[in-house]
Amino acid sequence: MIQKNSLSQTVDAIGQAIHERRQIPAAERKRVASWLVARQGLPGAYAETFAGFAAEQKSGIVLFTGERINSASARHILGEETCRALRLLAVRDSGVNAALKRADAGLMQCLERAALDPRNTNPGRYCCGKCSVGLWRNLLSGGLDRQEERLRRGVMHLRSVRDGKGEWQKFPFWYTVLALSDADLPEARRELTYAAPVLERAVRKAPASTQYARRRHELASRALAAL
């Protein structure tokens, strides 16, 4: 499960195991969690979270749903996603708990600074659409604070950025659908209903052979089934 030269690919492998509802042995979960924690605070880490490797910091990362993210957004989202992965591994360990508290504190400082901007009146939004979805994914795993309020307010913002074609401006479509499909909120179901025509077209197509295409096909089916 550990990809020795890639934090993002390791987080992706954890996500895939959880997506498939695979049992991860306790010893393996602890080994992987310890490896993730060792990336905390290294050069390139965002706000006391977890640093990708040099190639990831230079060229960006690929999200679970296949979109490529670069620059500061990649560092931020990788930090949020690593927090999520650590929580879902559910390892009872004081070192892991301390790492998550430190990461939460760092991210909360960023949220508090963002809240000082008079233009930012929504506690569920971050600097941009893609980073907002990364924030939602961490909130959904139990991270940070005011989870339901931040999620509701953040997801409600999507209505104002609909493009009229089933997608949202400045929000990566499949990554957004991934977060919405995990959010048991009427606001999330409303946005998935809006996106249903795009999801239905995706389901009608035979899934391509690539890993990300298969994930998107499965995600579209799952999101539609929840409506």
Strand segments, DSSP code E, in the chain are 61-62, 68-69
Instruction: Give the count of beta carbons closer than 10 Å to the beta carbon of residue 184.
Output: 11
Please give the sequence-ordered ranges of beta strands (E in DSSP) within 162-219, or none if there are none: none
Q: Are 50 and 1 within 8 A, CB to CB?
A: no
Give how far Cα 218 sits from Cα of 42, 63, 74, 88, 191, Å: 35, 16, 25, 20, 18
The DSSP-derived string for 83-136 is HHHHHHHT---HHHHHHHHHHHHHHHHHHHHHHTSTT---TT--SSHHHHHHHH
pTM over 0.95: yes
Q: How many whole angstroms separate alpha carbon 44 and alpha carbon 179? A: 25
Residue 25 burial (CB count, 10 A): 8
Percent of the chain whose predicted confidence (pLDDT) is above 70: 100
pLDDT digits (tens, 9 = 90+) for 118-143: 888 899 999 999 999 999 999 999 99
How confident is the prediction along the chain (227 residues), in pLDDT tens digits per residue? Answer: 999 999 999 999 999 999 999 999 999 999 999 999 999 999 999 999 999 999 999 999 999 999 999 999 999 999 999 999 999 999 999 999 999 999 999 999 999 998 888 888 899 999 999 999 999 999 999 999 999 999 999 999 999 999 999 999 999 999 999 999 999 999 999 999 999 999 999 999 987 789 999 999 999 999 999 99
Q: Where are the domains of the chain?
A: 7-225
Instruction: Sort residue 142 into left (φ over 0), alpha (ψ -120 to 50) or beta.
Output: left
51 torsion bin: left (phi>0), alpha (psi -120 to 50), beta (else): beta
**pLDDT on residue 119:** 83
